[in-house]
């Protein structure tokens, strides 16, 4: 039999467990894709600003830049008009070792797509941006289905924030 003191305590514990479960963030998507599968993810014709960073675990400038991207993402990720997507150019067989380890080590929350489409790289590099040489890192932003920004090379935290604030 529950006493008058136990009923409120049990209700409070039940409510707390529901609230804490609902606040847990889901794990980011980690998926190997080809370019034709990836492109619709960030070219949706909506009012969301998609910031896409092309990187790889073996790319030193990428790994130097990535913590800044994650810090900036943390500041904007609750906005319904913003989404960061990380596109790894690691080989598919490096997903379990390199990519997953990097996700865990850095606490990556944005979705990560491994672009496993080497045979078509001349097509998709040009489609991402005709000026892109293919070197990493590279960052593009899309809004309303159109590219609004392109940058090859490292971006500072401040440059990334300026880009987001300009188009958000």
Q: What is the mean pLDDT of residues 29-51?
A: 94
Backbone torsions φ then ψ of 115, nearest 5 degrees = -80, 95
Helical H runs in 77-141?
Answer: 100-106, 121-128
pLDDT tens digits along 127-168: 999 999 999 999 999 999 999 999 999 999 999 999 999 999
Provide the CATH number for the domain formed by 28-167 in this structure.
3.40.30.10
Under DSSP, the state recorded for 78 is T
Mean pLDDT of the chain: 87
pLDDT tens digits along 59-93: 999 999 999 999 999 999 999 999 999 999 999 88
The full set of domain ranges for the chain reads: 28-167
pLDDT bracket for residue 12 (50, 70, 90): very low
Cα 47 to Cα 55: distance, rounded to the nearest angstrom: 25
Under DSSP, the state recorded for 145 is T
What's the pTM? Answer: 0.83
pLDDT tens digits along 13-25: 444 444 444 444 5
SS3 29: coil
Q: What is the mean pLDDT of residues 28-47?
A: 92
């Amino acid at each position: 039999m529950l006493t008058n003191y136990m009923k409120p305590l049990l209700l409070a514990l039940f409510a707390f467990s529901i609230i804490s479960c609902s606040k847990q963030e889901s794990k980011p998507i980690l998926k190997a894709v080809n370019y034709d599968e990836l492109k619709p993810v960030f070219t949706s014709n909506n009012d969301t600003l998609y910031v896409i960073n092309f990187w790889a675990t073996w790319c030193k400038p990428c790994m130097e830049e990535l913590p800044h991207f994650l810090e900036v993402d943390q500041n904007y990720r609750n906005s319904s008009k913003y989404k960061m997507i990380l596109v790894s150019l690691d080989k598919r067989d490096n997903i379990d070792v390199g990519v997953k380890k990097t996700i865990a080590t850095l606490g990556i929350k944005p979705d990560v797509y491994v672009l496993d489409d080497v045979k078509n790289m001349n097509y998709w590099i040009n489609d991402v941006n005709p000026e892109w040489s293919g070197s990493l890192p590279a960052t593009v932003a899309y809004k309303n289905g159109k590219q609004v920004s392109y940058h090859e090379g490292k971006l500072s935290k401040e440059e990334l924030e300026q880009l987001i604030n300009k188009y958000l």
